[in-house]
């Protein structure tokens, strides 16, 4: 029985890591899409292509990935009792913030699709660093478990 539980844990963990990679890839790509979108002329065929690309990235990669990341992450948490450990609370906070960032980017894509361009390209390039910083902190928390 213990071997079966160990195998289930390893499959949960592998799936979680795979979908974190998919999610992070989408979170890195979308702000770059926004930069290129904003550089396109308003109402142009190129702008329409960027709107389509952003929606596909959000619906085909980002939305399914965040759902699977959360489901498998919560399953892992309950399997190993991580909710009792300090490092997990810090990780959970960062993942919640990253999920909020995902939601903000989804809303920003809708603004761009409506023709609104509230941010400059430079700001979007800086915002593109958020997932990388979050990923680095999360990896340190999970691997090192500093507290």
SS3 of the chain: CHHHHHHHHHHHHHHHHHHHHHHHHHHHHHHHHHHHHHHCCCCCHHHHHHHHHHHHHHHHHHHHHHHHHHHHHHHHHHHHCHHHCHHHHHHHHHHHHHHHHHHHHHHHHHHHHCCCCCCCHHHHHHHCCHHHHHHHHHHHHHHHCCC
Q: What is the pLDDT of residue 4?
A: 84
**102 marked among binding-site residues:** no
Average pLDDT for consecutive 10-residue bins of the chain (147 residues)? 84 97 98 95 96 98 98 94 94 98 98 95 93 97 95
**111 marked among binding-site residues:** no
Its pTM stands at 0.93
């Amino acid at each position: 029985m213990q071997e079966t539980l160990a195998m289930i844990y390893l499959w949960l963990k592998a799936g979680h890591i795979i979908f974190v990679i998919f999610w992070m890839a989408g979170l890195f790509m979308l702000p770059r899409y926004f930069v290129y979108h904003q550089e396109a002329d308003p109402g142009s065929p190129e702008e329409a292509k960027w709107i389509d690309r952003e929606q596909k990235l959000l619906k085909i990669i980002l939305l399914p990935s965040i759902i699977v990341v959360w489901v498998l992450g919560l399953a892992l948490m309950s399997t190993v009792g991580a909710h009792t450990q300090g490092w997990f609370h810090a990780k959970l906070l960062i993942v919640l913030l990253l999920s909020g960032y995902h939601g903000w980017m989804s809303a920003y894509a809708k603004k761009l699709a409506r023709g609104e361009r509230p941010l400059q390209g430079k700001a979007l390039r800086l915002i593109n660093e958020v997932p990388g910083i979050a990923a680095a902190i999360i990896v340190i928390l999970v691997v090192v478990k500093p507290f």
